[in-house]
């Protein structure tokens, strides 16, 4: 690279890049490296800049792939970087801009080259490129055989040990990105990688002792959401006397090789979205998710997943009494705040799911919070805007609700939290509503959306499971929430009748014509009846456990009492209909005795009085509705593709051109 080129168009003919990728070996002690690494630019942040860089450097990269077996220049570049990182911590403390600047530039070049190497060859071939040296053909230096492990270990040390300052932000971000690039072999495979050289290095050997520190640092990067320092923070300014050694080394930086790369292009300002985001936080979270979802080795569980499963609160004095090898402490209050604030992204929602599902310490802490609405409201917004979210994000949000509703304390407390003016809920003005009633409204809306659009059985099942878990603790349901429960039952009833009619007509047609195949309406009918049964159980659970707390539900039930007539004698619903029928009959009788032309207020008053008068022993007791989320037998079949689809979506930030990536998996939209 160097400081002599003035435009990106000169890159293919740049003397330093041509020498790096040429046929002559370059010693790691050659002054050439100082010249190569003396450039300054802002890394590509959009596809236009990325395309320029890719087109300008592709010939250089191809040449290096071809010549490196004879020159070993890739290994020399890595050794130059490794030698400079040994003093990085001191350089940061001493504000040594030059040292950090050149180390960052070396890592950026390595990262870009790795991206090309990994996309074009197998891990075995990549490993060979790390072993090549300037020696006679066929002989390799044994000290270079673990250069990959040494680089990986160095990157981890850089992330966990270098203090995060304005001058170190860039190299910290580059280290995180390079680790993701190292792991990106998965992007170029159609099957899940279960045996990988990079995985082995990261989960064993020299990298293993850093497991908990790496996970902790990545979590804190996510928590702190540190923004990129202003452009030029680590750029050398020309000295007023016009001379000096530092200026001599870094001369020409202002018109250096890649100064054309500024945020959004030459002379343009960063967009508000870019100014508000934290690249380091985003990349750290991606890396954390990738590490946590590496497959277990045959004889070794994934240590990064173990660390995520076991870390504790800084206020927990028992933390270091644990026998777990990767336990560490982190500030749960800060983590909770970050999780609440960042739920607009798939990555943050997936992290929240992992922590609630896998880390009992985090789950206990979250459920004990008195401001649980700060976490639940963003999750409800994800579900509410289901049309704008990808299906995986919606599914994760729903599973989070299911996990939370497994706790009776949560189910009680959400009805005690009163919210005002929920502006994002557009169907009706909600000036005042409990968090519990809002949760019911959003879940029912998700069910109705699923019935008309996606028709995903698992989405239905999990929505109903969350409602069922809450049903025994329904308290003071908002009138609109009560109406929507009965409206959903009405919708299901109509659908049931429609399918039943279609099945009857189909059966008649088949009797008239023996040639036509009979559609499988029986299966559709069974599915709808299962859902209707669940809805009846939810209503029954509320009536049995908290009738006197929910006059609005009784009111809605009485208003739509005709809906339930057809299910009273149905063999699939007879048992569960007994209580509902009893409640309808009991309150209908009281209303008839009260006279005609009753106001809504008077009806509710009669219902409240009747709820006290109704003997509880007249209602038949059913087993408590309780559903627990159980992960699939092979969760990696879902989560690894999902995580890498998130990496794919962040491809530009990783200097990948999406058209080069053969994503092995799922629809990322």
CA atoms within 13 A on the CB side of 97: 15
Nearest of 11, 22, 105 to residue 51 by alpha carbon: 11
Please report the pLDDT score of residue 552 as a whole number: 96
Please report the pLDDT score of residue 518 as a whole number: 52
Pairs from 560-568 (Cβ < 8 Å, separation ≥ 24): 560/486, 560/489, 560/490, 561/588, 563/486, 563/489, 563/490, 563/493, 566/493, 566/497, 567/493, 567/532, 567/536
How long a stretch of residues is the chain?
669
Specify the residue for token string 């599902």.
Answer: 357
* Cα–Cα dist 187/193, whole Å: 10
Give buried/exposed letters for 510-545 (b at 16+ CB in 10 A, else e): eeeeeeeeeeebeebbeebbebbbbbbbbbbbbbbb
* Cα–Cα dist 653/45, whole Å: 6
* Cα–Cα dist 459/130, whole Å: 47
Tell me the three-class secondary structure of 177-216, residue by residue: HHHHHHHHHHHHCCCCCCCCHHHHHHHCHHHHHHHHHHHH
Nearest of 282, 266, 174, 288 to residue 224 by alpha carbon: 282
Joined together, the tokens standing for residue 106 give: 């070396």
Please report the pLDDT score of residue 264 as a whole number: 25
Give buried/exposed letters for 167-189 (b at 16+ CB in 10 A, else e): bbbbbbbbbbbbbbbbbbbbbbe
Please report the pLDDT score of residue 237 as a whole number: 40
Residue 119 phi/psi, 5° resolution?
-75, -15
Joined together, the tokens standing for residue 391 give: 């299906």
* Cα–Cα dist 47/28, whole Å: 34
For residue range 505-551, what is the model confidence (pLDDT) as tens digits?
777 766 666 555 555 677 778 888 889 999 999 999 999 999 999 99
Contact 211, 303 (CB under 8 A): yes
Please report the pLDDT score of residue 254 as a whole number: 24
Nearest of 536, 624, 621 to residue 584 by alpha carbon: 536
Residue 370 phi/psi, 5° resolution?
-90, -5
| Chain centroid, CA 278 distance in Å | 16
Which residues of the chain are modeled with pLDDT < 70?
1-11, 40-47, 134-145, 231-276, 319-323, 454, 509-520, 633, 651-669
Nearest of 40, 508, 49 to residue 237 by alpha carbon: 40
Q: Which element (helix H / strand E) includes 521?
A: helix 521-546
Residue 229 DSSP label: P
Contact 292, 354 (CB under 8 A): yes
Is 0.75 surpassed by the pTM of this model? yes
- In angstroms, the Cα distances linking 457 to 439, 464, 572, 574, 633 are 20, 11, 20, 25, 18
Contact 644, 187 (CB under 8 A): yes
Joined together, the tokens standing for residue 36 give: 């190569």
- In angstroms, the Cα distances linking 464 to 49, 459, 488, 563 are 48, 9, 11, 20
Residue 517 DSSP label: P
Please report the pLDDT score of residue 40 as a whole number: 67
Q: Which element (helix H / strand E) includes 433?
A: strand 432-434
Contact 205, 138 (CB under 8 A): no
For residue range 560-573, what is the model confidence (pLDDT) as tens digits?
999 999 898 888 89
* Cα–Cα dist 524/492, whole Å: 12
């Amino acid at each position: 690279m160097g400081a002599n080129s003035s435009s990106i168009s000169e890159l293919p003919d740049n003397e330093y890049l041509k020498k790096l990728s040429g046929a002559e070996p370059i010693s790691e002690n050659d002054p050439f490296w100082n010249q190569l690494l003396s450039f300054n630019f802002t890394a590509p942040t959009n596809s236009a800049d990325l395309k320029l860089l890719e087109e300008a450097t592709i010939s250089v990269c191809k040449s290096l792939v071809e010549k490196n077996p004879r020159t070993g220049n890739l290994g020399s570049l890595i050794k130059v970087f490794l030698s400079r990182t040994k003093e990085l911590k001191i350089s940061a403390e001493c504000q040594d801009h030059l040292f950090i600047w050149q180390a960052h530039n070396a890592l950026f070049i390595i990262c870009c080259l790795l991206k090309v190497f990994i996309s074009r060859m197998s891990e075995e071939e990549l490993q060979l490129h790390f072993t090549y040296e300037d020696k006679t053909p066929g002989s390799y230096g044994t000290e270079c055989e673990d250069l990959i492990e040494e680089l990986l270990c160095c990157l981890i040390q850089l992330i966990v040990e270098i203090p995060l300052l304005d001058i170190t932000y860039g190299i910290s971000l580059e280290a995180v990105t390079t680790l993701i690039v190292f792991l990106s072999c998965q992007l170029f495979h159609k099957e899940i990688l279960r045996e990988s050289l990079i995985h082995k290095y990261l989960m064993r050997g020299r990298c293993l002792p850093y497991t908990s520190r790496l996970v902790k640092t990545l979590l804190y990067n996510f928590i702190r959401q540190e923004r990129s320092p202003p452009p030029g923070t680590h750029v050398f300014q020309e000295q007023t006397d016009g001379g000096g050694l530092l200026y001599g080394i870094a001369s020409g930086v202002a018109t250096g090789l890649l100064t054309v790369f500024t945020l959004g292009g030459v002379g343009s300002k960063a967009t508000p979205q870019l100014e508000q985001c934290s690249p380091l936080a985003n990349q750290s979270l991606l890396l954390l998710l990738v590490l946590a979802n590496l497959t277990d080795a045959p004889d070794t569980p994934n240590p990064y997943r173990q660390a995520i499963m076991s870390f504790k609160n800084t206020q927990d004095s028992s933390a270091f009494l644990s026998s777990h090898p990767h336990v560490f402490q982190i500030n749960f209050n800060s983590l909770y705040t970050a999780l609440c604030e960042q739920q607009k992204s798939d990555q943050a929602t997936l992290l929240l799911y992992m922590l609630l599902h896998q880390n009992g310490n985090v789950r206990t802490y979250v459920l004990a919070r008195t401001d649980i609405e700060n976490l639940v409201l963003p999750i409800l917004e994800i579900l509410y805007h289901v049309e704008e979210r990808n299906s995986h994000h919606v599914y994760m949000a729903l599973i989070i609700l299911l996990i939370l509703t497994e706790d009776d304390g949560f189910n009680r407390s959400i009805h005690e939290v009163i919210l005002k003016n929920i502006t994002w809920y557009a169907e009706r003005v909600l000036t005042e509503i409990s968090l519990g009633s809002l949760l019911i409204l959003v879940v029912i809306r998700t069910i109705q959306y699923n019935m008309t659009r996606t028709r995903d059985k698992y989405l239905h099942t999990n929505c109903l499971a969350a409602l069922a878990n809450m049903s025994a603790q329904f308290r003071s349901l908002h009138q609109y929430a009560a109406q929507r429960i009965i409206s959903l039952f009405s919708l299901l009833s109509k659908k049931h009748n429609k399918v039943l009619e279609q099945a009857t007509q189909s059966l008649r047609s088949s009797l008239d014509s023996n040639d036509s195949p009979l559609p499988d309406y029986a299966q559709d009918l069974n599915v709808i009846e299962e859902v209707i049964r669940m809805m009846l159980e939810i209503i029954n659970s509320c009536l049995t456990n908290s009738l006197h707390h929910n006059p609005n539900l009784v009111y809605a039930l009485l208003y739509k009492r005709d809906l339930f007539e057809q299910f009273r004698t149905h063999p699939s619903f007879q048992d569960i209909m007994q209580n509902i029928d009893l409640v309808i009959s009991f309150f209908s009788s009281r209303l008839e005795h009260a006279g005609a032309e009753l106001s809504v207020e008077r009806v509710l008053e009669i219902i409240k009085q009747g709820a006290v008068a109704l003997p509880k022993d007249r209602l038949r007791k059913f087993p408590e509705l309780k559903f627990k989320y159980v992960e699939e037998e092979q969760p990696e079949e879902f989560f690894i593709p999902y995580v890498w689809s998130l990496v794919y979506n962040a491809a530009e930030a990783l200097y990948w051109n999406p058209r080069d990536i053969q994503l092995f998996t799922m629809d990322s939209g």
